[in-house]
Amino acid sequence: MLFIGDVVGRAGRRVLRELLPALREELAPDFVVVNGENAAHGIGITPKEADEILRLGADAITLGNHTYRHREIWPYLEQERRIVRPYNYLPTQPGRGTTVVEAGGKTLGVVNLSGAVHLQAGSPPLVAVDAALKEVARADLILVDMHAEVTSEKVALGWYLDGKVTAVVGTHTHVPTADARVLPGGTAYITDVGMTGARGGVIGMKKEQSIAVMRTHMPMRYEPSEVDPWLMGVYIEAEGRRATRITQILRSGS
């Protein structure tokens, strides 16, 4: 399966449109999962971007801390089974935290989790994940997108789920880490897959604005950068539910 990191704004959507068809041909993944939490102008997602990502061939969309930024997505999260928000949000918040999608006679269980450190989660991810896994227990393959700020939470989750799921992939920091590997129990793991967006910005947003905010301590409207867009993700191979290989995908767009 192919997992693609946070699509950021127009540049991210453009590089996804440009590179995903060729990647699908080259790697022939059974499943494509895309994190779309920054697809709408860098923050959140609306039905328009979600529909586009699904149309491009994503079997499922995962989200994160910007899930509810746009009201239009709230009912969509209830209606569209292929999009998930973190499972460990409050039960009163719209949407589901797990889904099972089917392609080519195989099923993939997708679980989205949020870190609890420096992010607003309803319950601790390493506790909530037990119930989440029950919802996808019958799927052939299981992918967990752990959307978290700190590396320790993601590493701990990887070890906790080793042997239980096919892959634990980290998102949210938008910076890819160099620790992709298959853990001894057969779970593919990476602390952060990175983003699909402009590398010429600060985690996808215009660098001039980020620098100005950090130099003045005054608020400013952030806009997504268009400079040097890349697609970042991981390609995971598996035999049965066990992962056999994880390969980082880091490609520049035009």
Nearer to Fe ion, 44 or 186 (CB): 44
CB of 68 to Fe ion, least distance (A): 12
* Cβ-based nearer residue to Fe ion, 16 or 139: 16
Q: Which residue has the tokens 């969509």?
A: 76
Cα 191 to Cα 15, 43, 207, distances in angstroms: 23, 22, 24
- Residue 64 in contact with Fe ion, rule: CB under 5 A: yes
| Options 3, 38, 145, 168; binder of Fe ion; rule CB under 5 A | 38
User: Hey, which residues between 102 and 121 contact Fe ion (CB under 5 A)?
Assistant: none
Please confirm, yes or no, whether 41 is among the known catalytic residues.
no
Give, in order, the Cα–Cα distances in Å from 67 to each of 102, 179, 204: 24, 27, 17
- Per CB under 5 A, the list member of 1, 3, 4, 6 interacting with Fe ion is 6
Tokens describing residue 225: 């950068």
| Residue 95, phi-psi category: left (phi > 0), alpha (psi -120 to 50), beta (remainder) | left
For residue 26 the two structure tokens come to 């080259």
Q: Decide if residue 29 touches Fe ion (CB under 5 A).
A: no
- ∠165-166-167 over CA atoms, to 5°? 95
How would you class 149 by CB atoms within 10 Å of its CB: exposed for 0-12, middle for 13-18, buried for 19 or more?
middle
How many residues bind Fe ion (CB under 5 A)? The answer is: 6
Looking at beta carbons only, is 64 or 170 nearer to Fe ion?
64
Q: Which residues contact 226 (CB under 8 A, 6 or more apart)?
A: 10, 11, 198, 200
Catalytic residue among 66, 147, 172, 174: 66
Span interacting with Fe ion, options 16-24, 104-112, 169-177, 208-216, rule CB under 5 A: 169-177
Residue 158 C-beta: closest distance to Fe ion, Å:
18
Tell me the C-alpha distance between 23 and 142, whole Å.
21
Options 65, 88, 187, 196; binder of Fe ion; rule CB under 5 A: 65
Q: Is 172 in the site for Fe ion (CB under 5 A)?
A: yes
Q: Which residue is nearest to Fe ion (CB)?
A: 6
* Site for Fe ion, rule CB under 5 A: 6, 37-38, 64-65, 172
Which residue numbers are catalytic? 66
